Each structure stands twice: as structure tokens, then as C-alpha cells.
Structure 1
Amino acid sequence: MLSYWFFALAAVAVFLCRAYLFQSPSQLHSPLTSTVATCVSVIFNFFLTRRNAITHRQTGRQIPSCPWKWPNGQGDVAKFLDGMENSESWGTELGGCYRIWAGTNPEIVVSKPQHIKAAFQDSDKHLKAHNNDSGYLMSQVLGKCLGLVSGKEYATLRELLEPSFTYSQSGRYLLRIQQRTEEWFRQRLFMDKGHKDRLTVDPVNDFKFLPFLIVADILYGNVSPEMEAELFSIGPEREKLFQHVIGGGISRFNLSKYLPTEANRTLRSFQLQWARFNAEAYERAVTEGYSEAVVVKLFEAARRGAINWDHCHQTLDEMLFANLDVTMGALSWHLVHLADNPSAQSKLREEIATRTKSGRDGITASGLSDEGNEYIQSSTTLLAACILESSRLRPLAAFTVPQASPTDRDIDGYTISAKTNFVVDTLALNIRQDYWGEDRHSYRPERFFGIPRSDIRYRYWRFGFGPRQCLGKYIAEFILRMVTVTVISKFSLHLSAPEAESWERDRGVWISQPKVQLEFEHL
């Protein structure tokens, strides 16, 4: 067996050198390179499936598995960039519980409520996958952020940050969220497109930096125009860097740190800019009295040794850059669904006018009335249901980030060993299960009226399961609701004629985002 591994590893080394260091892009797809890749894939698949054997207790059959493919297994590309397509094809071919590969690490895909309950009932004790099962480059970007650490590291960071993101504290940010939203329309959207009766709007790119700036205000204290400009200049570098992370390949391996790759050059450039920006932002927050800003809490914890500087910088990155795609995916699909459903849009507009007293003392430049505040924070409104329904039909990613249970789990007759990573097929869970009824593929927000939250605990994925749900979920929700209220109060939304037949999504980002143009008609 050792000889087989030796030859497999030797083949990998040759292939790495040829494919990633010496060949042009056209040569990467040459017959010779493809043949080497196929051979390496077959060898690794043979040994990995035996080393990680999972058999059915009664039949003795191996758990259904996607074959391992060079160089990432299925990796982040198959899970995230191609996840919507693979969710259906893998589920059809392999069933409701099967195995995929992230690098050489196995991940068990679960897709039914009973699977989720068995795997995630003690999710507070779960271990997040090391570096998200994405390898070396991810370790340098987000490997030590709050969302990817476990145990004592996680407990320390969570205790430090949680007071800034509770439900009550998030409610205190509503005025700033509303002010930023109004500023965005006045200073950016209208200035870019003019005060025309009908605006053509890209729901991703035209709103992209609105939630970004709202979160930046929370992290750093109300950011200055100079800070905004610097963040905007850092953004493209960070976006390029994360494309390398998702792409995998040579950057998965620790040895890649020694290679003169574009990914490493981009990493060093971003890290220098990011460290400098945050150091200056911390000094400015202290000087200007933003003592409760998140950057102050993280920097002071790092200085006294409670956390390290990677925890500090990468958690700020996670909250600002990583979550930008997440928030924009949710917001943009929500606006697309409203544009495609004029009846729901009309009902929502009526609810907004009634509940916020719009036009009198409701949502104005001076802030929210008590009624408006109560409405934005309520989870029993049509507004909340519209967001839930959009998120059901268009979950942010087809597969969740991997995490492992601390003990063995029984899933469909297979014993999954402790510390084996699980991922959830969110499309199968949110859409394809019978619970959602005959109209499960249709947009009907009212389906959420009267459903107890406990009833959908393991039937619906949005912010995760259990105590390790997204720390910023309340802020994200309030941003979505505030932007929706502002948009629906000012405009009637329509799909552009060419977009009415089919909706494309951006295949270049890891979070599901539409490539659709909307028409905003002034009311």
C-alpha cells in the first residue's frame, strides 16, 4: 500500500509542477494534463474511499459518494460556485445522504429534516472544519475568524463580541441603518442615475456597498469619507484574493506558501493594507470616542493577549468583506422576487404605509417613529414573511460550511464517526421536501403565517442551527427590512422585459446572487 501512495504522491508532485508552475492556461487542458489528472483522481479515490469506509449496518454497502477529482475533490467550486446544479444532480444520483470530498477530507451531505436533527441537535458542541476544509490560503484569510474557530477560541471571541450584536443592541443601530439608506438613495443611486421617473437598477451592484457601509459604521464608529474611500480601494484586492481561495488547487497545500504565485502576492498585499487600515481605524475610534466600536474591543483584547492578531483582523474581515456577499445575495434576490410578484409587492406597500404611518411621522429623515421601529423589529409581518420566503427559495449557498459532531451519528443506517464533517443541502431542505406543499417552488410569503418556529427548526436553513447561528443575524435582518421599506415606499418594482422569462445568477461568486436588471418606477 505504501508503494501505491508513493507513486500517487509522485504523480501529484509532477502534475503540480507541470500544471501550476510551468504550463500556460491552454496547456492546463491538454490531453496529457487531463490524463495525468484522471490517473491521480482514480488512485486517490481508491485509497480515500477505503481509508474512510462508511458501510450500511444492514446491507454492508458503502455510503454513496461522489468520486474524488483532482485537485480539490469536489471542493468549494462544486459546493458553492456550481452548487445549485450539483445539489439536484447529486441528490438525484446519490440520494438524501451521501459523501463528497473537500481536498482529501470527507464531508457528509444531509438533506432531510430527520438527518438535520440527528446531526445538529447538539450544534453548540460541534467543531467547525479546520480552515473550512478549504486549505492553506483560507487559513491566511479567514481561518481564525469567529465563524470558523471552535472550542476555547470560539468561546472567547463570542463572549467578547456578543454584546454588540444582541437583539436589543441591534435595535439601537436602526437609526444609523435608516440614515445610511436614505443617504445612499440621495447621494449615490439618484446621483448616478438621475431623478428619472423610471430607473434601471442592478440589485447587486447598485446596492452593493450600502450594507457594507452600515456594518463598517458598527465596526469602526461612523466612518469618514476618507475611510470609505480606503475601504472601497481595498475591496477589489480582497475580492480577487477570495476567488483564489474558492478556486483551490495549489493554494490548498501548505507548500504553496513558498511559491511565487499570484495568490500569495495578492495575499501579502491585502494583509498589509488591511492591517494598516484597522490600526488607523482603532486609533481614530479611540480618539473620537467610539469606545464601544467592535474594532476597539478586538484590538484591546489582542493587546492584552486574550486573542491573537489573526483572530482580530480575520474576524473584522469576516464581518465586513465575507458577509458583504451574504447580505447582498439575500437583499438582491428579495428585490427580484418582489418585482416578479406585483400582488405581494402591493400588499407589502399597503402594510408599510399602515404600520409605519408613512407620510406623517413614520420613516422620515429625522428617524423612525415608535411605530416604525416596532414594525421593522417585528417578526410577524408580511415584510418578515417576504424575506423568509425569498431566503427559502434562494438560500445564500447550496451547501453550508462544514462542521463535525463530537460523537458518532446514525444517518439512514450509516454510522458517521465523530469529528466527520457534515454539510447541509439547503436547496433540498428549503425547497424540495414535501413539507412545503404542492407549491413548494412558488413564491408565497403567507405560508409562514402561523407556522411555529419550532415546526421549521430542522426544515428550514437560513442563519444556521442552534446556538452557533450567525452572530450578526439581527443586524442583517434589520438591514434587509429597512432597505425594503425604503424601496417599496418610493418605487414600484418591475422586472426588465428580457429578464421576465428566466433569471440568471452570477456564477463567479460563492454566494447566490442574481444577474438581473430591475426597473424602479417612482410612485
Structure 2
Amino acid sequence: MFAIVIVIVVVAVLAYRRRSSSLLSFILHEIWTTASPILHLDGHSIPGPRYTLPQGQGREKILTSRQASKKWQQEYGSIYRIWNGAWPEIILTHPKDVEAWFSGKGEHFKAGTEPAGCLFSSVLSNAIGLINGGDWRTLRRKLDAFVNFQASNKLTGLLIQRAQEHVDSLAVDSNQTRQTLLAVPFLQPYPFFTTIEVFYGALTSAEREEMWSIGLDFLSVAGFVVQEGLNRTRFTRWLYSWPAWRALRTFEHRWATFNRRFVQERAGMDLPIVQLWGEINGGITEKTILSTFTEAIFANLDVTTFVLGSSILHIANNEAVQQRLCSEIEAEKDDLEGYIRRQDTFLHRCVLEGIRLEPIPAFSLAESCSEDKVLGGYVIPAGTNVVIDATALNISNPFWGPDGDEFRPDRFESLTPLQLRYNLSTFGYGARKCLGLHLGGKMVRALVVALFQRYIVRVATESRQGENDFARDKNSFFSMFDAKIELENR
């Protein structure tokens, strides 16, 4: 049987290269759906798009997630199956199914990096967001002390200072009436270097330049993960081009070398990275530390930047919201630390509304359960990967009413956490919520305050796409914003 599968895969690869893979895609789809059926209680199979070589729907899920969400839900209903490479994933769009998935018996496990191929696995397979069981609990316990609610409260002053310094670096010349700049390149350095400082302390100028350069190496690796689809089956996961392997080796070597040297030079200092490095061979491996900080610093940079961008663009695009926010900031200016920490403010509601309209990732990381589940009438066997469609949950969900696609921060004023629990997808569910959600939330609020306290912000006319959408880079992870903002001194 194994030999037959190998032959099928090899032939599939050859057919793909000749651009004649339709028949083999059909064959593989039939084999996999027959081997692992997902059936309704009344006996019919779960709907969904067919598998196509080589990535299934994996590329669409990343690069055109918003369009894919709408298309797939219209065609297949509230629960359906897609293919991430050769791995099936069950997509949930209804809050009742999300609640059923996270309720009841069974332990949940992150799907890991296998569907993304060996390249992705090499840099992130040991990261805290992707490991499970005892390894996850041990690492979570050690990291939590640096970023939990109490720790993030103590860091609020630093976050505000770095946000103000970042905004001040853009000071508009007094002879200019305004300046225009791309939002994402402006935003990225703030979360990047601030996150690094939380774990590594203050860097020298040379170290900052080296870190930024290593980050560019990581982006190169990430680009190959999406582009090279032949590796997205269990038997072809190693089939990367030579440039891809070279990019991987360059990143891994530079990242490991930087950390080893850094820890040696800072030996004895009270820094999280030094403390964690001291745990190597005492329950944590070097690979785990490197993978975890790859995730926190490089992989999550797009996430934080996207949340910042969505908040700023939507506020800038709504004059009444901006005026009200600025009035609140003015009223709270004598205690900015307390203001940033609070979650009962118009500021917090603006950021939360930005996240609701622009969830990232639009499709959650896949996870499985140790027990069978019945979702939407379908029996989901234990070990099956399940994904939450955050776009459907956050926008088209009837819970949000007829204006669900509009930016209206006050919708959160009367909603309770219990009401939001399964109707809003933000930073995960239960024990596996994002480790950095408290730190990240304060980081975003600090920069929003610093920017709107200093400038009147508008979205450039050419960057608007309808009432509530903005120009995007369609070739980037998460369809990042490609929008310009105009800054005018207050």
C-alpha cells in the first residue's frame, strides 16, 4: 500500500509540473475522502471544495481569506471541509458550532506545522503557539511571568514612552501642512523593537540593525512557504527549491548565532532571554527558545502591525469617531498609564471594533480534539483538524445585526464577555489564548493614543476601497494593508 501511495504522489508531482493535474487531483481527492469520511448523522458527506494539486485551498486561505470566507460560506453553508495541502480541515462559521467545539469532553491540540511543509516546521515547530501537552504547559508557565496581565501593567510606561518616541520621529516640518506615508512601513518598527526590548532589554544600534536584517531573512523564508506548494503532502514535504533551503539555513544560522552571542555578553543580567537560556537542558531546549522567539518577534509582527493598521485606518476614516477619541485622550492625558490599562474606554472599543472587522488570522490555526464531536450535525472524528472562520463569526454573524460590516465602536458598550465569548474571534479560546494578548493590547492602545494625540489622521483618497475597506497587498501574508495615511499637526 505504501509503495502505491508513493507512486501516486510521484506521478502527481510530474503531472503538476506539466500542468495537467486535474485527473490526479480527482484521484487523490477520492482516495482521501474515502479513507477519512466526514458524515452527517443522516449519512450524507460534508460539503466543500475538492482537493486540487498541490496546495488544496491552503493558498487561498492565507492570501485571499476574506473573499474565500464569503465564497465558501455561500457555496457550502455554515460548516464544510477544505484542504490545506493534503490535510483536510473542517471550517466552522456559526457560534453554536464554535461553542460545541470548545465545550464538553476532550483535550484540544494545535495542529502544528506539518501541513505547511518542512520549511515552516524547521523554524516554528517548537514554538509555544504550536506545541502541546506537557511541553506547552512547562513553557507557558515560564513565559507567562514576563507577559501576563500584571507584567504587562508594569510595562505600560515603557510602551507609552516607545510609542511617543516612534511618533515623534515622524515630526512634520512646521513649514509643511501635512505629510503622507504608507501605514504599514511606518507602524512595523514600533511593535518589532518594543517586543524585542521586553525580552532582550535595550539593544545597541548595531544589534537593532542586525535584528531588523534577521527579520528580513525570516520574511524571505515565509515567502517560500506560500509560494512552493509541492511540499504540502506527507511524502513531498521536503521538496523545496535550493533558494528556499538557502534562505532557511541563512535565517537559522544568523538567529542562533545572534542569541548565543547575546546571552553570553549579557550573562548575569536580569533579562527574560538570559533567564530562559539558563533553563536549557532543564526542561527547555535551545530549539524551543529559538522557535518561540521566532514566533513572538518575527511571525507575530504581521499580526500586531495588522491590528495597529486596522485600528488606525478605521478611526482615521471616521471623522466623528476620531474627534470623540481625541476628546477622551485629552481628558485622560494626566494619567495615560491608567488610561492605556483600562478596557472600559472608547479607545479600547475602537481597537476591539478594528479587530472585529479585520480579524487576524481570518482563519484560525487548526486544532484537533481527543474526542469525537458532533458539529452542525456532522460527526467530527477525534484527531480531525478544525478551523474557525473569524471573518464569518465577526462580521456576517447575525449577532452583529444589519450593520455588522460597519465600524461602530459603541456596539461593545453594552455587550458582556459572556455574549462575546463565541460571537467574537480575537486572540483564541480558553487556555490556548494568545500568550501576548495583554502586552499586545496595551502596545496597540499606546500607539493609537500617541498618534492621534499628535496628529489629525486621514486615509489618503487613493487608499480607500469603498466605505470600510482599504488598499491591500494581495501577495502578502494576511493580505496586509497597502494604504497611505495623511498626517497633519494638531
Asked if these proteins are the same fold (TM beyond 0.5), I'd say: yes
2:139 alignment partner, one of 142, 154, 157: 157
Contact 1:157-1:307 at 8 Å conserved across structures: yes
The Cα offsets for residues 167-189 of structure 1, whole Å up to 9 and x where unpaired, read as: 110111112212222222333x2
Contact 2:167-2:450 at 8 Å conserved across structures: no
1:121 alignment partner, one of 90, 95, 103: 103
Contact 2:117-2:237 at 8 Å conserved across structures: no
Deviation, 1:424, is 0.6
Measured at CA, do residues 513 and 6 of structure 1 come closer, stay the same or move farther in structure 2, by a change above 3 Å? closer
Q: Does 1:190 align with 2:171?
A: yes
Contact 2:98-2:422 at 8 Å conserved across structures: yes
Q: Does 1:68 align with 2:51?
A: yes
The Cα offsets for residues 448-478 of structure 1, whole Å up to 9 and x where unpaired, read as: 0021111110000010111110000011101
Q: Does 1:9 align with 2:12?
A: no
1:448 alignment partner, one of 412, 416, 426: 412
Q: Distance in 2 between matches of 1:9 and 1:258?
A: 12
The Cα offsets for residues 325-361 of structure 1, whole Å up to 9 and x where unpaired, read as: 00000001111101110100000000111122xxxxx
Deviation, 1:283, is 2.2
AA aligned to 1:355 is E
Q: Does 1:84 align with 2:66?
A: yes
Measured at CA, do residues 233 and 501 of structure 1 come closer, stay the same or move farther in structure 2, by a change above 3 Å? closer
Is the partner of 1:511 in helix, strand or coil?
Answer: helix
Deviation, 1:260, is 5.6
Deviation, 1:156, is 1.2
Deviation, 1:46, is 0.9
Q: Does 1:34 align with 2:34?
A: no
Deviation, 1:255, is 5.7
Match of 2:158 in 1: 176
Q: Distance in 1 between matches of 2:177 and 2:261?
A: 43
Q: Distance in 2 between matches of 1:258 and 1:340?
A: 45
Contact 1:128-1:150 at 8 Å conserved across structures: yes
Contact 2:456-2:488 at 8 Å conserved across structures: yes
Is the partner of 2:186 in helix, strand or coil?
Answer: coil
AA aligned to 1:93 is E
2:308 alignment partner, one of 318, 325, 331: 331
AA aligned to 2:350 is C
Is the partner of 1:147 in helix, strand or coil?
Answer: coil
Deviation, 1:411, is 0.8
Matches within 5 A, 1:145-294: 145-187=127-169, 189-190=170-171, 196-252=176-232, 257=238, 261-286=242-267, 289=269, 291=270, 293-294=271-272
Contact 1:203-1:518 at 8 Å conserved across structures: yes
Q: Does 1:520 align with 2:487?
A: yes
Q: Does 1:351 align with 2:328?
A: yes
Deviation, 1:259, is 6.3
Q: Distance in 1 between matches of 2:385 and 2:237?
A: 25
Deviation, 1:511, is 2.3
Q: Does 1:100 align with 2:67?
A: no
- Gaps spanning 5+ residues in structure 1: where? 20-32, 357-361, 363-370
Q: Distance in 2 between matches of 1:481 and 1:4?
A: 56
Match of 1:24 in 2: none
2:456 alignment partner, one of 486, 492, 496: 492
Deviation, 1:134, is 1.4
AA aligned to 2:330 is A
Deviates more, 1:505-514 or 1:64-73: 505-514
What's the C-alpha RMSD, in Å, of the aligned pairs?
Answer: 2.0
Q: Does 1:375 align with 2:360?
A: no
1:301 alignment partner, one of 262, 276, 279: 279
Match of 2:478 in 1: 511
The Cα offsets for residues 276-316 of structure 1, whole Å up to 9 and x where unpaired, read as: 111122223325x2x2x2312321122x3412221110101
1:49 alignment partner, one of 19, 25, 33: 33
Matches within 5 A, 1:426-445: 426-445=390-409
Deviation, 1:2, is 7.9
Is the partner of 1:520 in helix, strand or coil?
Answer: strand
Deviation, 1:39, is 2.0
Deviation, 1:257, is 4.5
What is the aligned length?
A: 486
Q: Distance in 2 between matches of 1:259 and 1:425?
A: 29
2:361 alignment partner, one of 383, 397, 407: 397
Q: TM-score, normalised by structure 2?
A: 0.95
Measured at CA, do residues 194 and 155 of structure 1 come closer, stay the same or move farther in structure 2, by a change above 3 Å? farther
AA aligned to 1:34 is R
Match of 1:342 in 2: 319
